[in-house]
């Protein structure tokens, strides 16, 4: 079976206007700007308004990606929204987005793989287009993590922010587009990073709210060790599957969780920092939206040239990990 080459035709991003700085957090919990920057590299993050949900952030990012791709919403065959903060359990955020975009012929579903979700979404869309089933797909990473962050927990509230990034996928000339995908999971680590309440296991009750189980919980040290290990191994496996080496990478776009995790990946890949897209100092960790926001920003800053070899790599709750190599 001859597979159709598939690539990214356009990207877009949207972040809320409100900025939550380290100085603001100093007034909320026992922490300091120096402590946060030294340990994470984060200086500020964006926070959605009380009346904004994930679909509200996804919509402008999606419109920008469609505009940059030169594709109309009516031409879309598929919409995938990667998120752990959907507007509701159902209908899916992708269906809400489909309606608001006017993408009437598009199939739509949400995907839950936490911070690895955007690459998981790319892999799904790629397979459906490469097989000839669909022609154009919109993949969005959108999060309102501020809605599930406990601002009395200094271990987590310093890390997370809100935003959305999007990419339109479609057929590209031979020799361009995606060259490999690596997707992985280790469910035995699920308890290390979780949101306990709200599902069928632990429905919301007054007691659950009192125990603050409706907020994210993270075993920071264990997740850090996992991330350092898996970022490097997933990246190396994606390069191996693409048949290229570390020296062929023109730009690394990693999940933006912690500057020390990114530096460790750069070391393992023997890459200088100028070959890496880093914006976590502005946005913090935006889960599934981190990589597409960074990718859109790299394009805005003219850091991507036609033919460049780009490596995407992420890790997240689940535990999950994902990586992809593409020719821009």
What's the pLDDT at 25? Answer: 96
Q: What is the pLDDT of residues 208-234, one digit of tens each?
A: 999 999 999 999 899 999 999 999 999
What's the pLDDT at 2? Answer: 83
User: At 45, is the secondary structure helix, strand, or coil?
Assistant: strand
Asked if the model's pLDDT at residue 1 lies above 90, the reply is no
DSSP string covering 219-234, please? -HHHHHHHHHHHHHHH
% the chain with pLDDT above 90: 99
Q: What is the pLDDT of residues 22-37, one digit of tens each?
A: 999 999 999 999 999 9
CB burial of 284-315 (b: ≥16 within 10 Å; e: otherwise) equals bbbbbbbbbbbbbbbbeeebbeeeebbbbbbb
319 preceded by cis ω (within 30°)? yes
% the chain with pLDDT above 70: 100
Residue numbers annotated as active site: 115, 255, 285
What's the pLDDT at 121? Answer: 98
DSSP string covering 96-162, please? HHHHHHT-TT-EEEEE--GGGHHHHHHHHHHHHHHTTS-S-EEEEEEEEGGGG--TT-TTTTTTB-E
Q: What is the pLDDT of residues 313-328, one digit of tens each?
A: 999 999 999 999 999 9
CB-neighbour burial class of residue 17 (10 A; exposed 0-12, middle 13-18, buried 19+): exposed
What's the pLDDT at 220? Answer: 87
22's enclosing H/E stretch is helix 22-26
Going along the chain from its start, the domains and CATH numbers come out as 6-174 (3.40.47.10), 178-327 (3.40.47.10)
What's the pLDDT at 174? Answer: 94
Residue pair 104/112 in contact by the 8 Å Cβ criterion: no
Residue pair 106/79 in contact by the 8 Å Cβ criterion: yes
Q: What is the pLDDT of residues 283-306, one digit of tens each?
A: 999 999 999 999 999 999 999 999
**How far apart are the C-alpha atoms of 311 and 121, rounded to whole Å?**
16
**How far apart are the C-alpha atoms of 269 and 246, rounded to whole Å?**
6
Look at residues 205, 203, 241 and name the one whose alpha carbon lies nearest to residue 324: 241
Q: What is the pLDDT of residues 59-108, one digit of tens each?
A: 999 999 999 999 999 999 999 999 999 999 999 999 999 999 999 999 99
**Mean pLDDT score across all residues of the chain:** 97
**For residues 251-275, average pLDDT:** 96
Work out the pLDDT band at 42, boundaries 50, 70, 90. Answer: very high
Work out the pLDDT band at 39, boundaries 50, 70, 90. Answer: very high
Q: What is the pLDDT of residues 119-172, one digit of tens each?
A: 999 999 999 999 999 999 999 999 999 999 999 999 999 999 999 999 999 999
What's the pLDDT at 134? Answer: 98
């Amino acid at each position: 079976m001859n597979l159709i080459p598939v690539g990214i035709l356009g990207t877009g991003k949207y972040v809320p206007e409100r900025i939550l700085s380290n100085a603001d957090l100093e007034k909320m919990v026992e922490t300091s700007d120096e402590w946060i920057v030294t340990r994470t590299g984060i200086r500020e993050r964006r926070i959605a308004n009380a009346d904004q949900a994930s679909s509200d952030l996804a919509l402008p990012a999606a419109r920008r990606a469609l505009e940059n791709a030169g594709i109309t919403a009516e031409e879309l065959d598929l919409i995938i929204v990667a998120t752990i903060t959907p507007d509701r359990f159902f209908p899916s955020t992708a269906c809400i987005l489909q309606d608001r975009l006017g993408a009437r012929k598009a199939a739509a579903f949400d995907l839950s793989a936490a911070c690895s979700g955007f690459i998981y979404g790319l892999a799904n869309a790629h397979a459906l287009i490469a097989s000839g089933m669909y022609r154009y797909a919109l993949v969005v990473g959108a999060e309102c993590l501020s809605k599930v962050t406990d601002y009395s927990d200094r271990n987590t509230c310093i890390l997370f922010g809100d935003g959305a990034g999007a990419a339109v996928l479609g057929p590209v000339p031979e020799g361009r587009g995606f060259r490999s995908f690596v997707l992985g999971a280790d469910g035995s680590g699920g308890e290390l990073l979780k949101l306990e309440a709200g599902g069928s296991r632990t429905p919301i009750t007054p007691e659950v709210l009192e125990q603050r189980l409706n907020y994210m919980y993270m075993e920071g040290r264990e997740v850090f060790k996992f991330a350092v290990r898996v970022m490097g191994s997933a990246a190396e496996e994606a390069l191996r599957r693409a048949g290229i080496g570390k020296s062929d990478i023109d730009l690394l776009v990693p999940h933006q969780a912690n500057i020390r995790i990114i530096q460790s990946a750069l070391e393992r890949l023997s890459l200088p920092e100028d070959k890496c897209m880093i914006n976590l100092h502005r946005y913090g960790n935006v889960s599934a939206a981190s990589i597409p926001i960074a990718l859109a920003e790299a394009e805005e800053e003219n850091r991507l040239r036609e033919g460049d070899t780009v490596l995407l790599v992420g890790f997240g709750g689940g535990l999950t990990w994902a990586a992809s190599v593409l020719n821009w």
